[in-house]
């Protein structure tokens, strides 16, 4: 094992996880651009490593969300049909795609994430009356520790949610990110799921979505253990630091700074697609 | 109008609270599913982390360089039996990847036990989709 290389990758993964954890985006959104732009790693190996890391992150993160009932298992399984199928399609395209396509799509996703960070919107969900229509039995409730109350909800627009899920899956499969960046706002704004339940359900789902991605990349030999192992360790350590920092620092106060980082990485990837390298990049 | 508004607001709040109580009771009926999923993920991560740590230690002790490509799945067990660190690390990576798949099986079984055939079936469809990606990896 090349210790120095492993430590570098581990440190980068930790930074990616700290940023991802503070923003609730997961580490993959930062990991892939940093590995490709600053380490010159082939984007397909970076995506493969990121997919495995996202699985591991979801395995760790989901336990807490399940314990406090933020996760809605029925909603997760229903939407997962769409996202997992989308992820396989996206990954099958991703392993064959020209790297420039990956740079363009990833760049566009990062620019979208940067903009949505500044223009953050959240829909408040009102509790449904007893016997409210819920033909798919997707309604659930959880205790919100912030307001010390039970919060009940019944998701609506399920068909649209599944449609967005296919798109989120395709993006996840192509780019090795979890898809939470798309699914959390979709569940909240479109399906009227409270944000905490949307995050809990999405965290549980991204593990399964990324499994589909990871196995497709595995099948084509794009899983590099020298990259995956330090990335898993780094993301685990960074995720712990990030969640502690989130309690001390209000991430929203740093929203503009984080948005600028995302914008810089997004524009760098878009420029890379057209053969332009920014200073200091590999 | 304003009087109606004043009297309707608490009524809507009471209805919302009653609706929430109904949904909370429905969520609590899934307690065994939540517990089983948490246990699967908890032990899945711990066993994967232990395998990964073992692989790293073996690689460092033996000075074994890791390959830049994970071995095909059918070869991994043979590599582990032969004591290669790369085999143990590949197994750890696969273990992490399989943990959510096992969780889907556990969730499907829990829905079935709770009498929720519809979501048991939906979980099996998810499992079939994930199975398709695993089949691709096996045919590498």
Q: What is the pLDDT of residues A107-125, one digit of tens each?
A: 999 998 888 878 877 777 7
The pLDDT assigned to A246 comes to 66
Chain A residues in contact with B64 by the CB 8 A cut-off are 1
Chain A, nearest residue to B89 by Cα:
A225
For chain A, give the number of residues: 282
The answer to whether A127 contacts B137, with C-beta atoms less than 8 Å apart, is no
Looking at residue B1, its pLDDT comes to 41
Report the distance separating Cα A215 and Cα A152, nearest Å: 36
Among A56, A81, A140, select the one facing B126 at the smallest CB separation.
A81
Domain containing residue B72: 2-138
B interface test, pick of A49, A50, A215 with most B CB neighbours within 10 Å: A215
Percent of chain B residues topping a pLDDT of 70: 93
B30 pLDDT higher than 50: yes
Q: Do B41 and A212 touch (CB under 8 A)?
A: no
The mean pLDDT of B15-25, rounded to a whole number, is 85
- Given pLDDT bands bounded at 50, 70 and 90, which one contains residue B48? very high
- pTM for the whole structure: 0.89
Provide the shortest C-alpha distance from residue A227 to chain B (in Å).
Answer: 8
Give the minimum alpha-carbon distance from B82 to chain A in angstroms, rounded to a whole number: 18
For residue B90, the chain A residues in CB contact (below 8 A) are 225
- The pLDDT mean for chain B works out to 90
pLDDT by 10s per residue, chain A, length 282: 578 888 999 999 998 888 877 776 667 788 899 999 999 999 999 999 999 999 998 898 889 889 999 999 999 999 999 999 999 999 999 999 999 999 999 999 999 888 887 887 777 777 787 778 899 999 999 998 888 889 999 999 999 999 999 999 999 999 998 888 889 889 998 999 998 899 899 989 999 999 999 999 999 999 999 999 999 999 888 888 877 776 676 656 677 888 888 899 999 999 999 988 877 777
* Number of compact structural domains in chain B: 1
pLDDT digit string, tens, across residues A118-151 = 887 777 777 787 778 899 999 999 998 888 889 9
């Amino acid at each position: 094992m090349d210790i120095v290389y492993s430590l570098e990758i581990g440190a980068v993964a930790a930074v990616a996880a700290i940023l991802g954890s503070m923003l609730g985006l997961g580490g993959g959104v930062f990991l892939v651009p940093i590995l490709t732009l600053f380490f010159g790693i082939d984007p397909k190996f970076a995506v493969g490593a990121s997919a495995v890391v996202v699985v591991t992150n979801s395995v760790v993160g989901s336990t807490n969300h399940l314990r406090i009932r933020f996760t809605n298992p029925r909603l997760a399984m229903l939407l997962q049909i769409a996202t997992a199928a989308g992820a396989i399609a996206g990954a099958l395209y991703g392993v064959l795609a020209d790297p420039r396509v990956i740079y363009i799509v990833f760049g566009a996703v990062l620019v979208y994430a940067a903009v949505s960070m500044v223009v953050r919107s959240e829909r408040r969900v009102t509790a449904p009356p007893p016997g409210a229509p819920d033909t798919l039995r997707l309604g659930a409730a959880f205790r919100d520790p912030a307001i010390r109350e039970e919060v009940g909800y019944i998701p609506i627009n399920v068909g649209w949610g599944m449609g967005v899920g296919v798109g989120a899956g395709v993006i996840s499969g192509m780019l090795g990110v979890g898809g939470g960046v798309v699914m959390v706002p979709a569940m909240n704004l479109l399906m009227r799921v409270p944000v905490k339940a949307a995050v809990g359900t999405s965290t549980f789902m991204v593990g399964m979505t990324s499994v589909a991605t990871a196995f497709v990349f595995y099948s084509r030999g794009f899983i590099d253990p020298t990259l995956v192992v330090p990335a898993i360790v780094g993301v685990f350590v960074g995720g712990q630091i990030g969640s502690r920092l989130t309690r001390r620092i209000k991430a929203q106060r740093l929203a503009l700074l984080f948005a600028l980082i995302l914008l810089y990485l997004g524009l760098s990837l878009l420029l890379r697609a057209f053969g332009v390298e920014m200073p200091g990049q590999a | 109008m304003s009087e109606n508004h004043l009297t309707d607001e608490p009524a809507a709040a009471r209805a919302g609270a009653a609706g929430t109580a109904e949904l909370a009771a429905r969520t609590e009926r899934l307690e065994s599913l939540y517990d089983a999923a948490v246990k699967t993920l908890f032990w899945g991560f711990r066993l994967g982390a232990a395998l990964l740590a073992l692989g790293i230690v073996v690689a460092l002790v033996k000075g074994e360089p890791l390959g830049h490509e994970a071995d095909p799945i059918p070869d991994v067990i043979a590599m582990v039996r032969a004591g290669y660190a790369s085999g143990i690390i590949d197994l750890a990576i696969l273990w992490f990847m399989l943990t959510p798949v096992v969780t889907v099986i556990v969730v499907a079984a829990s829905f079935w036990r709770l009498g929720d055939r519809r979501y048991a079936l939906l979980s099996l469809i998810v499992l079939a989709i994930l199975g398709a990606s695993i089949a691709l990896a096996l045919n590498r």
